[in-house]
Amino acid sequence: MKILVTGGAGFIGSAVVRLAVRRGHEVVNLDALTYAANPENVASVSNSPLYHFEQADIRDREALDRVLDQHKPDAIMHLAAESHVDRSIDGPGDFIETNITGTYNLLEAARAYWTRQGKPDGFRFHHISTDEVFGSLGDTGQFTEETPYDPRSPYSASKAASDHLVRAWHETYGLPVVLTNCSNNYGPFHFPEKLVPVVILNALHGRPIPVYGDGGNVRDWLYVEDHADALLLVLEKGELGRSYNIGGENEAKNIDLVRTICAEMDRLRPGNAPHERLITFVTDRPGHDRRYAIDPDRIRNELGWRPSVTVEEGLRRTVEWYLDNEDWWRPLLTRAGVGERLGKA
């Protein structure tokens, strides 16, 4: 299969690209290379004859038309997005333009391409989204695919809008789509502005480790390589027009996750132990959802998928990867916003 992956130089997108190429798929990586993208994320497959790169922005319709007509993919996996909640609080405009207008452009380009190709039965448009569109849970319950949307941040609102557009293009124009909503991802190649890499790198450098509020916010943690595996499965086997929630089956409070990372750092860098002494509670961000949890029954029962990596094993692998790959993360520390407290509103 020939797959066009948007955002393939980003965190989740690059995991999809690496796995797809390893499995023998031909991949066209379309990425604008904005601040969180990094060509090094796909260096392991960049010399493969199955890999192609196109630097283009999903807000540029002419570029999308050119890439589709040139490469003629069998499927599109749409991961290009602005994704950091804190940045969406400080500057929501980029999120509206990329996540909503960009998705609209891609849908229209895909519809026109699909039509020009004679509307082949095998074509798929896979839209990758987040569980944040569902809002916040109480102490119990889980998000299902039928949970009403209730986004609370500019980021989640923009992703909710993009989800609705994709469903509308399926219902109105018959575009063959599948959708997925995932829980919090972590793992290698994660841009150092999100919780897990921030904790690792701050612990490594003996800097305060910021934890929002009381640290009691709960997330379901999904190892990024497990996520990539699930995404390719949904692309190949998912029912058209249907959405699938993808979770790691690993719920944890933020403070417990941070303490687990600190314990791994104590094991690997005992000279600076205990790293837990660096934990610093900071003012919570506005609209911080208290709890997310994924009900994985649909993808488990219909497609037979379950995550393979526990959060303990995944964090161990992730900490070891960051300690072994300073050449990857050190150049990123100079990019705007890295290491700063964002999202104060």
Distances (CA, A) of 66 to 75, 144, 324: 16, 38, 39
| Strand partners of residue 4 | 28, 76
In this predicted structure, what is the pLDDT of residue 341?
54
Active-site residue flag, 322: no
Residues 48-85 pLDDT 10s: 999 999 999 999 999 999 999 999 999 999 999 998 88
- Is 340's pLDDT higher than 70? no
Average pLDDT over residues 209-221: 95
What is the pLDDT averaged over residues 84-89?
87
Q: If you search the block for the tokens 């999308």, which residue do you land on?
A: 64
| Banded pLDDT at 339 (limits 50, 70, 90) | low
Strand duo 209-212 + 184-186: pairing? unpaired
Region 206-210: mean pLDDT is 95
Does residue 274 have a cis peptide bond before it, meaning omega lies within 30 degrees of 0?
Answer: yes
Residue 155 known to be catalytic: yes
Q: Of these residues, 57, 131, 163, 220, which one is catalytic?
A: 131
Is the per-residue pLDDT at 343 higher than 70?
no
* Exposure on the CB side of residue 217, measured as CA atoms within 13 A: 20
Mean pLDDT of 155-181: 98
Q: Is the dihedral of CA 36, 42, 47, 50 positive or negative?
A: negative
Arithmetic mean of pLDDT, 290-313: 96
Question: What's the CATH number of domain 2-190+220-250+291-308, 3.40.50.150, 3.40.50.720, 1.10.357.10, 3.40.630.30?
Answer: 3.40.50.720
Q: Average pLDDT, stretch 286-310?
A: 95
Mean pLDDT confidence for 225-252? 97
pLDDT at 335 over 90: no
Catalytic status, residue 223 = no
Question: What percent of the chain has a predicted confidence (pLDDT) above 90?
Answer: 90
Catalytic, out of 31, 82, 132, 251:
132
Is pLDDT at 265 greater than 80 in this prediction? yes
pLDDT over 70 (residue 344): no
- What pLDDT sits at residue 286? 86
CB 23 within 8 A of CB 89: no
Q: In the structure encoding, which two tokens stand for residue 6, read together?
A: 């948007």
Give buried/exposed letters for 197-214 (b at 16+ CB in 10 A, else e): bbbbbbbbeeeebbbbee
Domain ranges of the chain: 2-190+220-250+291-308
Could you tell me the two tokens for 7?
């955002």
pLDDT confidence of residue 298: 98
Q: For residue 291, count other CB atoms closer than 10 A to its CB.
A: 18
Q: Which of 113, 155, 223, 292 is catalytic?
A: 155
Taking the C-alpha atoms of residue 268 and residue 181, their distance in angstroms, rounded to an integer, is 34
Number of Cα atoms under 13 Å in the Cβ half of residue 220: 23
Q: Where residue 193 falls among pLDDT bands split at 50, 70, 90?
A: confident
pLDDT (average), residues 100-115 = 98
